[in-house]
Amino acid sequence: MKSTTPIAVASRSFSKHTKLCAELLERYINVHFNDKGISLSGQELVNFAKGKEKLIIGLEKIDESMLSKLPELKVISKYGVGTDMLDIIAMSRHGVRLGWTPGVNKRSVTELTIAFMISILRRLPQIQLDIRKGIWRNIIGKQLSNHTVGIIGCGNVGKDLTIILRSFGCAVLANDILDFPDFYKSHNVESVTLNEILRRSDIVTIHVPLNDTTRGILGPDQLRMMKSGAILINTARGGLVDEDEVKRLLKSGKLAGAGFDVFGTEPPEDLELLKLPNFMATPHIGGSSEEAVLAMGRAAIAGLDKNEIPDQDNM
């Protein structure tokens, strides 16, 4: 029997995905979708969710002021894996449960990260610029195979990426606030400090959540530690890396290249950075392959029923 529990789907992406909408309607009959496709925030989001017991969100921000105005809300289910837009402490205080499945889109992010690595090593951004200008020349790049890759954050994506990189014969260095000795041993990963990753890696890729402890984790001092000719990849979150310093290092040649899927401000406003021939950018698509979108949506549907009071220490 279908549930009559009132549901709101704030996520624009979910709301326009016909298959996900149909699967949700197989379980619930009282569903309010974001049919207008507008980005909901503040009072607009409160008005949209008013009177609903369960809410599916994507990138919408939930804070104390909103929760205080939504006394009927019992569950928030996350479409996607990032939780930096949620005030976990406020949710816990209001007794609002969270449906969340970490790592559901990890392979999508892993494959984009690998694509960045190979594209920048083979100098594809510069080659594409040349070809569009009618310039046909042989630019020699490098292979990914046998390079040393430093992974900052060895959670779901970091572990998945490690497995793929090992198949390329890459040496993998890892840094994480948690220790994974069994995983490191089985995949021949060397656990090192952050500074050691920066100094030793040919490629540095970051895969940590954005919170008070990670914001600006790669500032100017850290970025200047990187090897001359190294490559930096960020498919995690904007706000982790000092983009101004990255631009300076790319222009000076200290960094050979960089690939970002995420930015501190989206869309990014620094056109000078975006136009650099050794910089590659995508519009926050890391977790948005067709397969990942479907998996995230199904996880969000499941999270409406399978959820718990969130614990900040476990996010």
Domain 7-104+290-314 top-level CATH class: alpha beta
Residue with tokens 């890459």: 170
Span 174-221, pLDDT tens digits: 999 999 999 999 999 999 999 999 999 999 999 999 989 999 999 999
Cβ within 8 Å of residue 86, ≥6 positions away = 61, 62, 76, 78, 98, 310
Strand, helix or coil for residue 253: coil
Q: Which of 308, 314, 315 is nearest to 76 (CA)?
A: 308
pLDDT at 140 over 90: yes
Fold match between 7-104+290-314 and 106-281?
yes
Enzyme catalytic residues: 237, 266, 284
| Token reading at 113 | 């990260």
Angle at 18 between CA 12 and CA 22, to 5 degrees: 110
pLDDT value of residue 192: 98
Q: Which of 59, 60, 62, 51 is nearest to 97 (CA)?
A: 62
How far is C-alpha 58 from the geometric centre of its chain's CA atoms?
Answer: 12
pLDDT value of residue 314: 62
| Res. 84 pLDDT band, cuts 50 70 90 | confident
Angle at 188 between CA 186 and CA 192, to 5 degrees: 120
Inter-residue contact 201 to 230 (CB < 8 Å): yes
* Percentage of the chain modeled with pLDDT above 90: 93
Span 264-311, pLDDT tens digits: 999 999 999 999 999 999 999 999 899 999 999 999 999 999 999 988
CA dist 178 and 34 (Å) reads 38
Cβ within 8 Å of residue 221, ≥6 positions away = none
Span 43-52, pLDDT tens digits: 999 999 999 9
CA dist 39 and 52 (Å) reads 18
Domain 106-281 top-level CATH class: alpha beta
pLDDT value of residue 315: 60
Inter-residue contact 309 to 302 (CB < 8 Å): no
pLDDT value of residue 311: 80
> If you average pLDDT over every residue of the chain, what do you get?
95
Domain ranges in the chain are 7-104+290-314, 106-281
| Token reading at 48 | 């949209």
Long-range contacts: 186-195, Cβ < 8 Å, 24+?
187/162, 187/163, 189/154, 189/162, 192/150, 194/152, 194/222, 195/222, 195/225
Cβ within 8 Å of residue 69, ≥6 positions away = 46, 50
Span 9-32, pLDDT tens digits: 999 999 999 999 999 999 999 999
CA dist 177 and 154 (Å) reads 9
